[in-house]
Structure 1
Amino acid sequence: MAFGRSLGASLRAGDLVLLAGPLGAGKTTLTRGIADGLGVGGRVSSPTFVLARVHAAGAAGVPLIHVDAYRLGGDLAQLDDLDLDTDLEGSAVVVEWGEGSAERLSSDYLVVRMSRRDDDVREVSLEPHGSWASRMSALPTA
């Protein structure tokens, strides 16, 4: 949650963040932290069955679009049906299970790679693409 809050506080409209990691790694919990960092109110839960949830702008003035691409199984047509590319300009978009499909929405994206050790400790690594490389120094360390 703390890492997500810090990351969320640094996000701005147009940002694309892809969360990668196995089941139970903490992707939805991280998204809750991101929402908190953006000042987005309301409940943040996994959008597995609705595919995407839009959270109105909060204190930071940036809406959050939370997508769970797990059920898409790489079906790019279904991803296109969500019209995320049009929403990306005015929102921060966080996509769980989006690696391998959602990065085509923008050449500027951040992959947050997560894993869970046997002792329940989560490990996170950041992989910047495009303009994210120049923003890395402003991002929280995992």
Structure 2
Amino acid sequence: MKWLFSVVAFLAIQIVSASPVIEKRASVNDVANIGYATLNGGTSGGSGGTTTVVTSLSALTSAVSGSAKKVVVIQGTITGNTVVKVGPNTTIVGRGGSLVGVGLRVLDVSNVIIRNLKVSKVLASAGDAIGVQNSHQVWLDHLDLSSDLSHDKD
């Protein structure tokens, strides 16, 4: 009987571990519904604003500026050696997109969401991968931030 129980338990574990993992992807209209991002009226980013898909550094810089509600979807790899200042009421979502050598700065603004994005190899002279200073209602979620020794250990 103990042997049969062990076999059944082993098979159950195999079936459960073989099940595909369901991963929730960021929607451009997601809003913060838990934690500090819900304070003072909540954090909705650019939900309800215009949606722009960007594939270049100049398009990204232009798309995230200004205070109007906006959703910026990053597709592909955007490279450079700079930090892009993000305006208020902005949602930035990576859809298979990444920033290489390009950081994001959230400075003196509110209501910003940055989700599902990979940022790598930003040099210290340009700034941080993502910098948040003197800002509130900022939601950072599912970010992959990295560097290597040839692109500054910081």
Fold in common (TM above 0.5): no
| Larger helix proportion of the pair | 1
In our comparison, the structure showing a higher alpha carbon Rg is: 2
Q: Which has the higher contact order (CA 8 A, sep 6+)?
A: 1
